[in-house]
Amino acid sequence: MKARKRDIEQRMARFNEACRKSGAKLTHQRMEIFHEVAQTGDHPDAEKVFHGVRERMPTVSQDTVYRTLWWLKDLGLITTLGPPRERTRFDANLNRHHHFVCVKCGLTQDFYSDKLDKLTLPESVQSIGHVETTQVEVKGICLKCAAKEKPAKQFKKRG
Ligand SMILES: [Zn+2]
Ligand SMILES: [Zn+2]
């Protein structure tokens, strides 16, 4: 699933700005790696980013991709979601949003909700720590996986 063009442009602009501000060198390789995350709505893990980038840059090493992803995270350009660490997924959507996670295939898709943004948490949370943001993760079975499990009934077209 591809991100919207407007979002991709906004993300690339933010990337350029962050590199300039931090004084980091804006290399072609870094740009390609960020673009790989920025252009997708799939929340890829490092492995998937590596494969995507390698299609356009066959010489890129896995190590470079991993290091660059964590560097991008330090710059605040991407966030990570969910343990465990070796399967960390990266997200270039920095707007307030929530996730639908398919428990079968791992599809992670963004959705938006003003209501969930304003979710009231139980007081017990305060005894654990100070809350900064709330992000809801909905788990379920995506339509694709559901269709595989129960082959859709064949509807005959009328007329
Ligand atoms: Zn699925
Ligand atoms: Zn997301």
Contact 67, 121 (CB under 8 A): no
Name residue, tokens 């966030």: 79
Which tokens is 17 given?
């700005």
Distance 97 CA to ligand 2 centre (A): 6
Kindly report the average pLDDT of the chain as a whole number: 89
When pLDDT is averaged across residues 35-64 and rounded to a whole number, the result is 94
Q: Is the pTM of this model over 0.75?
A: no
Q: What is the pLDDT of residue 157?
A: 53
Distance 43 CA to ligand 2 centre (A): 6
Round to whole Å and give the CA distance between 107 and 62.
Answer: 23
Round to whole Å and give the CA distance between 76 and 158.
Answer: 54
Radius of gyration of the chain (CA): 19
When pLDDT is averaged across residues 59-66 and rounded to a whole number, the result is 95
Q: What is the pLDDT of residue 39?
A: 95
pLDDT exceeds 70 at position 32? yes
Q: What is the pLDDT of residue 87?
A: 76
Q: What is the pLDDT of residue 109?
A: 92
Distance 154 CA to ligand 2 centre (A): 34
Residues 6+ positions from 97 with CB-CB distance below 8 Å: 110, 111, 112, 135
Distance 117 CA to ligand 2 centre (A): 14
Residues 6+ positions from 31 with CB-CB distance below 8 Å: 15
When pLDDT is averaged across residues 127-150 and rounded to a whole number, the result is 90
